[in-house]
Amino acid sequence: MSKHVLKNAALVVNSVDLSDHVRAVTVSSKYDEVDVTAMGDTAKQTALGLSDDSFQVDFLQDYDASEVDATLWPLYSGGSSFLVKAWPSGTTSSTINPCYSATCIMANYDPIAGDIGSANQTTVMFKAQAAIGRATS
């Protein structure tokens, strides 16, 4: 089994490729755990509840047209949903480079963040509105 080192992860937000501004990306897929233990059970019983999936991304900020702020600000201030896609290496989906995608909303955005002399970075959480999908083609 081969190991994978992230070197060229790709991220597309609302059809805009922002990969060259991404410092870190985490695709998180999880379900709420619901306790369904009833009288007579001899151990706790758990069922899967609602999905709570998200994409967390650390961006290097850029205010040019079609870059980070120009893409994210309208999505945040508009409050509408949009498509987010992430790949471990480049944007060509395959069995060894699956695409994870979901329709998301953005509930927070810090357009300026940093200390004197440091990189202007922003961390964004894209909350999926349904379970994240996985495509290999």
**Calculated CA dihedral for residues 108, 125, 86, 98, nearest 10 degrees:** -150
**Integer Cα distance of 14 and 133 in angstroms:** 16
Whole-model pTM? 0.91
For the chain, which domains are there? 10-35+45-135 (2.30.110.20)
- Give pLDDT tens digits for 23-48: 999 999 999 999 999 999 999 999 99
Kindly state the helix (H) or strand (E) to which residue 12 belongs, with its residue range: strand 10-13
- Give pLDDT tens digits for 69-94: 999 999 999 889 999 999 999 999 99
* Helix residue spans in 1-137 (DSSP H): 68-78
Task: Give whole-number Cα distances, 76 to 92, 107, 128, in Å.
Answer: 28, 7, 14
